[in-house]
Structure 1
C-alpha cells in the first residue's frame, strides 16, 4: 500500500446511516476550539478538518428507507424506521425527555411532521408503537398531510380465531385467554399487562423516570440476581400465568422485546419509550429526509467529503494511533486512506464483516471482539399494498390497525392520497417473512377485517430486514451484559487507537434513531470535547 496513493484524512466515517450522516454534519459545523481535533484542522491550508463519509452504496439512511408508491406522491411509505417520540405534555417531559436529538433535527432542517400516536391513549398500551389517537404536535404539517389514523372503536382483532372489536376488548370474558383476575384488571393498567408484571419485579417500575431507569438497569435485582442477567421472557413467565404471557406475546408488535432481550434493558427501553406517555411523530416528507438532508448539508461544507460505493474491506492501526483503510469500489477498483480518527457508524453485522482485519486481532482488541457479541440483531418484515379505494371504510373502520394471531400479525390502514381515492395499507408487520408456502396475506387480511369486499391491490412492496450488513431491523442487549459499560467502551474500544464505534446497536435506546444520535453526541462531547448540540 503505497503512501503516495493514500488519502490523508482527519476523520473517516464509515457508514451512511443516521449516525454517520449526523456525525459528519456535526463535525462540519462544529467550533473546534478546545478540542483535540483543533490541531488536526490547524495543519490544513483552509483550517478545516478533512472528513470523508463512506457508504457501501449510494443510499444514505441505513435502516431508514422511505419510498413512494404509484399514484401516491404525497404519502411516504416507511420500509424501515418510521418516526420519533416527543413528550405529550410538559409534565411528561420532566420524566421522559423523548427523542430530543431527532426532534431538534427535524426543527433545524425545517421538516414538517405529523402525529400518529400517544402511547397511553391507546386501549391496549401493549400496541403503543403503532396505535394511538389523532392529533398534531409539536410541528405543523404540510397542507396536504393528514394525521396518521389511530385505533378506533371498530378496529378488528382476530385472536385465536375469535373476532373482537376494539370497543369490546376490555370487557370481561371477551378475550380467548384464561387470564387471572389480576391479569384481567391489568388490561386497564397504564402500561398494560407488561406494566403489571414489571411492577411485581421492580416495585413501581411503571412510575420510574428515565433518570431512575438509568440507575435501575445497573442495580435492580430479581430473586437475588441482577435483573440484567435474566432474559425478559424468563422474568415475565415467573409472574404471569401461561395464558397471560401468551396474550402478551400475541399482542406484541415485536415479540422479541418480551422474550430474549436482557430484562433490565428491555424494561428501561419500553417504559422510557414505547410505553411512556409520548406521541409518535412522522416526517411528512418521509423519515429518510433526515439523513438525506444531513448528508447534503455536510457536502455543502465539504464538497469532496461524500464517498458512495465504498466497501470497507480491511483496516489496521499505526503506532501513532491512526488507522489504515482499504476500500473496494465499484467496478472492481480499490481506494486506500489513512485516518487520524476512524468512526465505524455500523451495526454488529457490518462490524463482523471486517472483524478478520488486523485491527480486530490481538490482546488489545479482545474486549472489542467480546463486545461485538453483546447485542443480538432482530429481523422485521413489512409488506405494503395500495388500493383504488379505502376499502376498510366499508366495514366502518376509519383507519388504523388490525391485530391478529395469524401470520400477518399487524395490518394498518394508513391513509388516502389527497384528491384521489388511492389508499395505502400495511398488509403485514411481523418478525420474519417466511411462514410457509400456504401463507396468503390478502386472504388473512380478509379474515382479520371479516369481509370479502377487498379489491385486488394496485401495487405491493415488501422489505425484510434480516441478515446482510444490517443484520436485522434493530438490536437488543443480551442477558448478562452490562450494557452501560459496553456503550462507554465502544466510544474508544482499543487503547491507543483512535477508533470509535457509534450507532443504534450499542446504545441505550435500541430500535430508535435517537439511540444512534446519542452515541454520536457522547463521542463528540466526551472524547472530542466539543460543545453539545443545542437539544442536549
Structure 2
C-alpha cells in the first residue's frame, strides 16, 4: 500500500491512530506545567490569607477622606443624624445651653421631622389624630416626656385607655367570646391548666410573671436582680419564663393571642419582659397624647432649635462617615450623604457627630467602628420588631349600631387572633355635627408583613386613599372588612365600606426608596427589644461612644431602658449630653428622685407603646 493510500485510510478509519509530532507534545507539556504552577500559587495565596484571618473583621473603606475639599469647607461643630425625638431634643438642648459656642446641623433622611412619630389628620375627621407611629405616653411615670411637653407648651388630652369592658369582643382561634366569657372555665379554645382556665389572657400573663419574680422583689438593677435556678433573670428569654413557671403548654399561645401582641413570639430579655408585662396587664394606666399628635413633640423641638440658630437639612441620608486629619482644622469627620431631591452626593464636615437613628439605619452607614470597635457586638444587643397600622374611616361608627350595642364599644380596643389583631375605636365626640369615625388596626411581627404584602401596586388601589408610602388597595380593604365582621360576630354589610383608608408599615428589612408625591422613605423597625444575656443597663451606657477614640455618639430609644417610647429617646439623649457634652441633666435632682420613686412605687416600667 502506498503512503498516499495509508494517509487516506487514516482519515477514514478513526481506529487508526495518527502519530503526534514532537512539537505538539512540547506545547501540551508546557500547558500542563503552566496550569499546575498557577494552581499551586493560587493554593498558597489562599492558605496564607486564611492563616492571616483573625476574629476581628477588616472593613474595606470604599471612600477616602477628601482633605483638599476641607480647605474651603464649612465645618460644623456638631452634626446630628436623625430628626426624631432624640435628635431634636439633643439639638435643642445644645443650642439652648451652648448655642453661641456650637454650630449644629441636623441631617434628616426624610422630608419630615418626627422619626417614628408620624401624626396625620384623616380627611373629614377633625376630632382625632391618626398616629401612624407612636401614639401615647404615660404622664405619671414618664417624667422626661411630661417635662418637655410642658416646656414646649404642648396641649395634651387623655388617650382612650384599654378600659375594663366585660363585654369586649375576642375572636380567638375562630371562637367568638366576650371578656366575661374568658373567666368561665372551658370557654377559651385553649388547653390550659385548671388554675388558668378562669383567667383572662392578661391575668395568665401576670400569673406567670409573678411566679418568676414577685412584684415586691423586682429590681431594675440587673446586678441586684434575683436569680432563677442560679442564673440572673436577664439570661432568660420571655418564652422560657412560661416553662419556668410551670404554665400549661398552651398558656403562651393564649397570652399571645389574647393580648394582641405577636411580640410574645419573640424570646427577648425576660428581665425587661416582666416589667413590660406588668404594665400591659394592668387597667389602671393613664395615657395622654398631644392634641396635634405625638409628632408635635419633635416638631416643636425642631422649631425651637431653629429659632436658636440651628439648621435642619431634610431629604438627606448619611451613607458613610470617615475620620479626617486636617492641618489647620484638626480632627474632622466627613459625612457623605445622598440627597433624594437633587439626586446628588454631598459631603458635610463636623468635629463631632451624633447618630440619633435606629439600629437598622445605623447599620446602613459605612462607618468603620461598626466593624472594628471592640464594642461592636453591642449594636446587636437588641432585636428589631415589625409593626403595621391600618386606618379605616367610616361615615358613621358601625360599632355603635343597635345590633352591636351589647359589645359596649365606645373607645379602647378589641382583640383577635386573625391578622387584624387589635382594633382601636375612635368615635365622633359630637355625632350631631359630624358622625364620621375611624378604627385603627394594630398588628406586629408576621402579621405586619401579611398586610404589607396586600399594600402593593400589584393590586387595585383603593379609590379614596392618599397613603403616602404604602398604597392602600381594594384587596386590603376587603380583607380588613371581612376580618372585622368575624371579630365582632356580625356581617360585612353591618361594617360597611370605609370612605378612606391608610396604612403604615414599620419594617427594617425593606429598602430605602423615593416615593412619588411624598419624598424619601427610610425603612425602620417599629421598635427594638433587648436580647437575652445582655446587661442592658451597661449596654445603654457603653454603646453611646462605640469607638472610644472617636467623637461619634449614638443615642435613641432603641438602646434605652424604655425602648419604643419617647421617654427612652429623651432619657438616652440626656445621658449622652451629660456624659460627653458637659451639659447639666435635664431633670433636677428632685425630679430625678421623684421619677425613681414613681418607678419603684408602681413596680412597672413600660417598654413599648
TM-score (norm 2): 0.72
Counterpart in the other structure of 2:335: 325
Task: For 1:277 and 1:10, locate their aligned partners in 2 and report how far apart those are by CA, in whole Å.
Answer: 46
Deviation at 1:280, TM superposition (A): 1.5
**Is 2:70 the counterpart of 1:3?**
yes
User: Aligned match of 2:574 in 521, 524, 531?
Assistant: 521
Q: Distance in 2 between matches of 1:284 and 1:257?
A: 31
CA offsets 1:155-174 (integer angstroms, 9 cap, x no match):
21111222222333323333
Distance 1:336 1:428, change over 3 A: closer
Q: Which residue of 1 aligns with 2:80?
A: 13
- Show CA shifts across 1:71-118 (max 9, x none): 01332001110010133xxxxxxxxxx211111122222222222366
Alignment-derived partner of residue 416 in structure 1: 428
Cα RMSD, aligned residues only? 2.4
The residue number in structure 1 matching 2:191 is 178
Q: Distance in 1 between matches of 2:223 and 2:280?
A: 15
Determine if the alignment matches structure 1 residue 163 to structure 2 residue 176: yes
Query: Aligned pair 1:29/2:103, yes or no?
Result: no
Cα deviations by residue, 1:178-205 (Å, 9 ceiling, x for unpaired): 32232246549xx622221122222x1x
What is residue 220 of structure 2 aligned with on the other side?
A: 214
Q: Is the 8 A contact 1:408 1:427 kept in 2?
A: yes
Could you list the structure 1 runs, at least 4 aligned residues long, displaced by more than 4 angstroms after superposition: 185-188, 272-277, 318-322, 436-439
- CA deviation after TM superposition for structure 1 residue 213, in Å: 3.0
Whether the aligned pair in 2 keeps the contact of 1:417 and 1:423 (CA below 8 Å) is: no
Aligned to 2:374: 366
CA contact 2:167–2:179 (8 Å) conserved in 1: yes
Alpha carbons 1:375, 1:475 under 8 Å: kept? yes
- Say if 1:154 and 1:166, in contact at 8 Å, map to a contact too: yes
The higher-RCO structure (CA 8 Å, 6+ apart) is 1
Contact 1:428 1:441 (C-alpha < 8 Å) held by counterparts: no
Does the 8 Å CA contact 1:269/1:508 hold for their aligned counterparts?
A: no
- The residue that corresponds to 1:448 in the other structure is 487
Does the CA contact (< 8 Å) of 2:182 and 2:198 recur in 1? no
Distance 1:273 1:457, change over 3 A: closer
Q: In the alignment, which of 288, 292, 295 is matched to residue 295 of structure 2? A: 288
1:66 paired with 2:131, answer: no
Distance 1:193 1:325 in 2: 50
Partner of 1:279: 286
Structure 1 distance, partners of 2:108, 2:182, is: 47
- How far residue 8 of structure 1 moved from its aligned partner, in angstroms, is 1.0
1:48 aligned partner: 101
Q: How does 1:260-279 map to 2 (within 5 A)?
A: 260-271=267-278, 275=282, 277-279=284-286
Q: Secondary structure at the match of 1:215?
A: coil
**Residues 172 and 184 in structure 1, CA contact (< 8 A), matched pair in contact too:** yes
Provide the rounded CA distance (Å) in 1 between the counterparts of 2:390 and 2:216: 36
Conserved 8 A contact 1:408-1:430: no
What 5-or-longer segments of structure 1 have no aligned partner?
A: 33-40, 42-46, 88-97, 119-130, 133-150
Report the counterpart of residue 75 of structure 1 in structure 2.
Answer: 128
SS of structure 2 residue aligned to 1:433: helix
In the TM superposition, what whole-angstrom CA distance separates every residue of 1:396-434 from its partner, at most 9, and x where no partner exists?
Answer: 133232211122111122221642111111245343334
1:528 and 1:426 mapped to 2: Cα distance? Answer: 41
> In the alignment, what sits opposite 1:378?
385
**CA deviations over 1:136-161 (Å, ceiling 9, x no partner):** xxxxxxxxxxxxxxx53432111122
Q: Which residue of 2 aligns with 1:84?
A: 137
Are residues 1:309 and 2:319 paired?
no
Which residue pairs with 1:106 in the alignment?
149
Superposed displacement of residue 218, structure 1 = 6.0
Q: Is this contact kept in 1: 2:206–2:277, CA < 8 A?
A: no
Kept in 2, the 8 Å contact 1:17–1:345? The answer is yes
Q: How does 1:429-448 map to 2 (within 5 A)?
A: 429-431=443-445, 432-435=447-450, 440-448=479-487
* Distance (Å, rounded) in 1 between the aligned partners of 2:135 and 2:580: 30
> Residue 565 of structure 2 corresponds to which residue in structure 1?
512
Task: Please state if 1:465 is matched with 2:473.
Answer: no
- For 1:404, the equivalent position in structure 2 comes to 416
Shift of 1:358: 3.6
Q: How many residues align?
A: 470
**What are the superposed Cα offsets for residues 364-400 of structure 1, whole Å, 9 maximum, x if unpaired?**
x231x21111111100011110001111111113323
**C-alpha distance in structure 2 between counterparts of 1:104 and 1:415, whole Å:** 30
TM-score normalised to structure 1 length:
0.82
Hey, what's the Cα distance between the residues in 2 that align with 1:84 and 1:53?
A: 25
CA 1:361 to 1:429, structure 2 compared with 1: closer, same or farther past 3 Å?
Answer: closer
Matches of 1:217 and 1:166, distance apart in 2: 39
State the secondary structure of the residue aligned to 1:101.
Answer: helix
**What's the CA shift for 1:281?**
1.2
**2:185–2:198 contact (8 Å) kept in structure 1:** no
In the TM superposition, what whole-angstrom CA distance separates every residue of 1:464-500 from its partner, at most 9, and x where no partner exists?
Answer: 1012444310001112222222111122121121111
Stretches of structure 2 lacking an aligned partner (at least 5 in a row): 1-65, 455-474, 511-521, 593-609
Equivalent residue number for residue 240 of structure 2 = 234
Structure showing greater radius of gyration is: 2
8 Å CA contact 1:328–1:335 kept in 2: the answer is: yes
